[in-house]
Structure 1
Amino acid sequence: MLSIGGFSVALALALFPGSGDALKEGDCEVCAAFLGKFYQSLEGNNVKFNSADIEQALVKLCKDAKGKENRFCYYIGATSDAATKMINEVSKPLSHHVPVEKICEKLKKKDSQICELKYDKQLDLTTVDLKKLKVKDLKKILEEWGESCKGCAEKSDFIRKITELMPKYAPAAAKARTDL
């Protein structure tokens, strides 16, 4: 053991963990955002902060999760088809009001895939020219809305469907487009 001025280096490392454990800006984007919204909803709904109730509420929320949030739920075991069960690694700390960033740090140590999840870049439908987007991107917009375009063969069909549904899913964008 190395001793510097009577203070052991091993003891110093144990008392002051390295910054490698802390999340960096942008790390665990989906984990932090999803759990942050979930925690806020718990406080707003006056849910009892016990592990079992939190776990039950999380499983219920995960049933409706889409995209990257659904993948996060799968990784922690909050979906019916999940192979692992780490949901207690979320519910127990939340019951003690542990910050979501700390929970995500702990989850990262157990499964690094959790912190690799990133939200897809969102298009600003108020300014984007739909005609300049690829069909793949147009399909993605519809998919995010939970819609499909049956019978669409041409790019113009997808654009027409998005424009038709815009008042329902992106009312601000629909209003901005009519003002142009």
Structure 2
Amino acid sequence: MRTVNLIVTLAALLGAVSPVVGKAKTPDPAECEVCIKVLETIDDTIPKDEKTSKTSIEEAIGKYCASSELGQKEKKMCYYMDPIKRNIAHPFSLKMPKDRVCKRLKKDNEDICNVKYAVKVAKDSSAKDVSKLRVKALKAILNDRGVDCNGCLEKADYVKQVMDTAHMDL
């Protein structure tokens, strides 16, 4: 009798836990986007015959990061990547996909995947499209445009302000 109760309890416990374990978190499409773009750009600068050489990969990272034509996000990524060139070069030389390299680097430094590009709004987008964005993204758009939204309390206020300043987007 005890074994039957134990089996029933165990089955109930597994039934309650399995739906929680079965759900996978949907990946964020913008996760590690700057890291992936930087690594792909560095990969394009390395000659084919030197793509497996760790020293040539480290030199390419240094050369890329020394460039004066980098944007703010790329400079920030170089700030994180410069001290760990060796850790980047090893999986890079094994031809590991760039997204996997970035996720591996994320284990050592969370900030690598937290650098993201600003959300862009198309000029022909309607208020309905803009209203689908989160308030955090709307605030970021207004901040990039250099606009303060004084008196904005609700999401509709931010959407209206974004639509009113659409001409300011570069």
Counterpart residue number, 2:97: 99
Which whole-Å CA distance do the structure 2 matches of 1:62 and 1:135 have between them?
27
Which whole-Å CA distance do the structure 2 matches of 1:47 and 1:58 have between them?
17
| 1:108–1:59 CA distance, 2 compared to 1 (3 A) | same
Counterpart residue number, 1:75: 80
Question: Given the alignment, which residue of 85, 88, 93 partners 1:87?
Answer: 85
1:69 partner letter? E
Q: What whole-Å deviation, never above 9, does each CA across 1:27-51 have from its counterpart, x for those lacking one?
A: 1111112112222332xx4351200
- Structure 2 residue 106 is matched with structure 1 residue 108: yes
Q: What whole-Å deviation, never above 9, does each CA across 1:120-145 have from its counterpart, x for those lacking one?
A: 23466x879xxxx989737xxxxxxx
- Structure 2 residue 62 is matched with structure 1 residue 59: yes
Which whole-Å CA distance do the structure 2 matches of 1:31 and 1:41 have between them?
16
Q: What whole-Å deviation, never above 9, does each CA across 1:79-109 have from its counterpart, x for those lacking one?
A: xxxxxx2111111211111111111011110
In the alignment, structure 2 segments of 5+ residues that lack a partner are 1-23, 126-140, 147-167
> Is the contact between residue 23 and residue 101 of structure 1 (CA under 8 Å) also seen in structure 2?
no
In the comparison of the two structures, how many residue pairs are matched? 109
Counterpart residue number, 1:33: 37
RMSD: 3.4
Which whole-Å CA distance do the structure 1 matches of 2:74 and 2:91 have between them?
19
Q: Secondary structure at the match of 2:119?
A: coil
Which whole-Å CA distance do the structure 2 matches of 1:58 and 1:32 have between them?
13
In the alignment, structure 1 segments of 5+ residues that lack a partner are 1-18, 78-84, 139-158, 160-165, 167-180
Relative to total residues, which structure has the larger helix share, 1 or 2? 2
> Is the contact between residue 35 and residue 77 of structure 2 (CA under 8 Å) also seen in structure 1?
yes
| 1:136–1:108 CA distance, 2 compared to 1 (3 A) | closer
TM-score (normalizing by structure 1)? 0.49
Q: Secondary structure at the match of 1:69?
A: helix
TM-score (normalizing by structure 2)? 0.52
Which whole-Å CA distance do the structure 2 matches of 1:97 and 1:30 have between them?
19
Q: Secondary structure at the match of 1:119?
A: coil
Which whole-Å CA distance do the structure 2 matches of 1:70 and 1:57 have between them?
15
| 1:47–1:54 CA distance, 2 compared to 1 (3 A) | farther
Which whole-Å CA distance do the structure 2 matches of 1:61 and 1:100 have between them?
16
